[in-house]
Structure 1
Amino acid sequence: MSKSPVVHPTKDEAFDAIKQSLADWAVYASDRTVVAHGDSLSLVRQMPDDSVSLILTDPPYHSTKKANIVNDRAFREDEAFIEWIEKYTREWQRVLRSNGTLYVFCSSRMSARLEVMMSHYFRPIAHVVWTKPNEPGFDGWKGKAKKESLRSWYPHSERILVFEHGQYGTMEASRRSPFGEFLRDMRKKCGISMHELTEVTGAYGKVNHGGAVANWEAGRNIPSEEQYNKMCDALISTGKIDAMPTYQDVVRPMSLSNDVEYTDVWDFPSVRPFKGKHPAEKPVNMLEHIIRASTYCNDTVLDCFAGSGSTAIAALKLGRRSVSMEIEDKWIKRIVDDIEAASDDIHNPSVREIAQKSNNVSELSLFD
C-alpha cells in the first residue's frame, strides 16, 4: 500500500526525534549524526515513523558465507534469510518518508528473490548492476579464481535494489507514485479539473488533453518546483484547503544529468585492501553518487548495517544528516573516529564545493 504525503515534521524535528529514540544506544551523537551500537533490527524499531529520507544500506549477503561478516552465515536456508530481511523491510516502510528512497545492496544470487519479497512493501524503481571493476594492477578474487572449476558464471557484480513507496501492479492506479496520488486527491478535493490545473502551469500536452497534470498524477514524471508552487497557489485559492506541503516534502528527489552516471550499470572501482578495511566496504564516491541523486540537503540518511561508516561520511560531506547502526565493537570505533575526522574537515573549501554542487545549495547554512 502507498504512503500518502502528509505535513511532516521539519527536518530538524525529525532528526531530534531520532536522536531521542536512540539515546540509550548512541555512542556518538551531534546535530548532524547519530551512531548507535547494537542489533539494528531492534534499533530501527525504536525510530519514529516518517523520519528518514533515504535508506542506504548493505546487509549481509548470505550467499557469500563470509565468516568475518556478522550474520552472513547465520541462515541455513535462503528462505530464513529472506524472512529476516522482510522484518527490516516492514520497518523501513514505516520510517521512510513518503517521498523517500530505499537502496539495498545484495548479491546477484539473492537479488531476484529479495526484489520480489520487497515489492510487497515498496514499488521497485531500479535494479542497478555494480560491475565492481578493479583498478589496474589489482585483480582481486576474480584474478585468483580457478576458472576451469567454475560451474556457473563468476559472480563478480553486485546488485543495488532501489525502491520508493507504493506498489507496482497491472492497473495504472497502482503504478502511481505517492506524489501522483497526493496531487490527484488534492485536485479532486478542491474541485479543479486536470485542464484547469494544467492552464495554471501552462504545461499542455499535444496528445494528452490533461497536459502535464495527467502525467504527474499517473506517476510518469514530476513537475518542477515552480510548477508545483503554481498549483499550490491555485488549490489553496479555492478555499477548500488551508495549505500545501513544500516541494521537498512530497516530490522524491532524483537528480541526474549527462555529467554523472545515469544508467543502471555502474563501474565504480571496488575498494582495494588496506589495513582496517571492512570486508564489505563500498567506495565512498559511489555512496556520494547515490546520496547526491536521491536526497535534498539536510535530509537524513539511514544505514542499518554501517560497517566502516562510509555511508555516514558520504552523507556528512554532502551536507546531509546520518544515522548509523552497527553491531560490532571494532567497526563502531572506526565509524566514530572517521566521523570526528570528517567533522574537522567540514569547513574545508573542497568539502564546501562538493556540497554546493549538490541540490538545494540555499540550505547550506551549516557550512557558514
Structure 2
Amino acid sequence: MNRAESFKKIQTEVKEFVTYADSEQLIVNHDCLTVLKKIPSNSISLILTDPPYHATQKKNIYGDTQFKKDDEYINWMEEISIEWRRILKPNGSLYCFCDSSMSARLEVMLSKRFNILNHIVWTKPNQPGFDGWKGKMNKESLRQWYGHSERIIFCEPAKDGNLHRSSFGELLKKKRTESGLSGHKLTELTGAYGKVNHGGAVSNWETGRNIPSREQYQKIKDAILNTKKVNSMPEYEDAIRPFIISKNLEYTDVWNFESVRPYKGKHPAEKPQDMLNHIIMASSYESDIILDCFSGSGSTALSAKRNKRKCISIDIDTHWTDYTERRLNELF
C-alpha cells in the first residue's frame, strides 16, 4: 500500500473525529488515545509530538495538571507509547518533547519498545528583549539550577532478534534465509566485504550495527530476488529509516533553535518552525505520513505542508483544531 492509499485508509478509520481533511492533511478533534487505537498498524513514518509535560503544571496547557503523581503520568504515557509502537512503520522515527525533570523516566519507559537513539537538549535561546521569566526572575532566590532547556527523546521501533534490536536487521536476515543465500554469498554478490569480518557488511547489517546505502540496498534486493525464492522486497524508503543530515546542518544533540516570540493568541507550548523543519527533513522522506497527536496550534502540520509531507494532527481542544485549520488556509 502506497502512502496516498495509507493516508486515505487512516482517514476512513478516524472519520468520525475528523474536522478537516484534504489529500495531505487530517485534523482530528478528540482524545488522542482513542484516535490512535483506530489508526492502522505500520502506517506512520514519523511521530513528532509534544505531550503535556506534567512537571510544569501549567493550567493554560490542556492535560498538564491532569495527574497528581509522576507514576500516573508515566503510566498514561506508556499506554500512548504502546500505540505509537504499533502504528509506526518498522523504519519509522519518534521525536517526543518532554520536560528535563521527566526525561529520564520517560526514556526508561520508552526503551521497552523503542531503541533510544538520542537524548536531545533544546537550549531555547530567546532574542534580546524576549527573555520572559529567565530575564525577570530574582536569581538570588534560586535553590537549584534554573530549568531553561527542554528535552527531545529521539528513537526508533525496537525489534528483538539481533544485537541492536534492529527492524531492518531482522528483515534482511529473514529474506536472506528465505532466499537460501548464506551471509558470505550475499556479501560476495553485493561486494560488501569487510576488512576483518568475513561476513562483511552483511553481518553488520543483520546485527543492526549499521545500514546499507541506497546503492548497497539495491544490490541486496537484486541478489535476493534473483534467487526466485523470495517474491518481494520493500523499496528503500520502506526498509531504511531516514536520517538525512550534513555538515551544513545541526548534527549534534544540543540544539539552539530560537523560541517562538510572544504574539497574540500564541499557544503556550508552540515550537519554532525551523526546528520542526529540521526534524522532518532529517527523519522522513517526501510524501511520508507524519503524526502529531498533541498538535496544539498546528505547527507540525504547517512544517509538513511546507516540506511536502502528509500530516495527521490530533488535539482534544476544539479551539486549537479550529486554529490549525485557519493557519493552514491562511498560509497556503
TM-score range, shorter chain: over 0.9
Query: 2: distance between equivalents of 1:304 and 1:332?
Result: 11
Query: 1: distance between equivalents of 2:318 and 2:15?
Result: 18
CA displacement 1:309-365 (0-9 Å, x = unmatched): 0000001110000000111122112100111123x3xxxxxxxxxxxxxxxxxxxxx
Query: 2: distance between equivalents of 1:175 and 1:151?
Result: 41
- The answer as to whether partners of 2:115 and 2:165 remain within 8 angstroms in 1 is no
Secondary structure at the counterpart of residue 24 of structure 1: helix
The equivalent position to 2:183 in structure 1, one of 190, 194, 199, is 194
Which residue of 2 is the match for residue 4 of structure 1?
none
Which residue of 2 is the match for residue 265 of structure 1?
254
Measured after TM superposition, the shift of residue 48 of structure 1 is 1.2
Which residue of 2 is the match for residue 11 of structure 1?
3
- The answer as to whether partners of 1:167 and 1:174 remain within 8 angstroms in 2 is no
Query: 2: distance between equivalents of 1:164 and 1:231?
Result: 23
Question: Does 2:141 correspond to 1:152?
Answer: no
Query: 1: distance between equivalents of 2:21 and 2:135?
Result: 42
- The answer as to whether partners of 1:195 and 1:209 remain within 8 angstroms in 2 is yes
The equivalent position to 1:23 in structure 2, one of 15, 38, 42, is 15
Question: Does 2:48 correspond to 1:56?
Answer: yes
Measured after TM superposition, the shift of residue 200 of structure 1 is 2.1
Deviates most, 314-323 or 192-201: 192-201
- The answer as to whether partners of 1:119 and 1:167 remain within 8 angstroms in 2 is no
Which residue of 2 is the match for residue 143 of structure 1?
135
Q: How does 1:70-85 map to 2 (within 5 A)?
A: 70-85=62-77
Number of residue-to-residue matches in the alignment:
332
Which residue of 2 is the match for residue 330 of structure 1?
319
Which runs of no fewer than 5 residues in structure 2 stay unpaired?
Answer: none
Query: 1: distance between equivalents of 2:38 and 2:226?
Result: 40
The one-letter amino acid of 1:197's match is L
Measured after TM superposition, the shift of residue 157 of structure 1 is 0.6
CA displacement 1:167-220 (0-9 Å, x = unmatched): 68xxx9241310011111211221212222122222211112211112211212
Instruction: Please provide the CA RMSD for this pair.
Output: 1.3
Secondary structure at the counterpart of residue 162 of structure 1: strand
Which residue of 1 is the match for residue 90 of structure 2?
98
The one-letter amino acid of 2:92's match is G
Which residue of 2 is the match for residue 352 of structure 1?
none
* Structure 1 outlier segments of 4+, above 6 Å: none
The percent of aligned pairs where both chains have the same amino acid is 52
Query: 1: distance between equivalents of 2:177 and 2:144?
Result: 54
Question: Does 2:169 correspond to 1:180?
Answer: yes
The one-letter amino acid of 1:238's match is T
The one-letter amino acid of 2:273's match is V
Query: 2: distance between equivalents of 1:133 and 1:197?
Result: 50
Query: 2: distance between equivalents of 1:250 and 1:205?
Result: 22
Measured after TM superposition, the shift of residue 51 of structure 1 is 1.3
Secondary structure at the counterpart of residue 175 of structure 1: coil
The one-letter amino acid of 2:327's match is D
Query: 1: distance between equivalents of 2:262 and 2:269?
Result: 11
Which runs of no fewer than 5 residues in structure 1 stay unpaired?
Answer: 1-8, 345-368
Query: 1: distance between equivalents of 2:257 and 2:132?
Result: 15
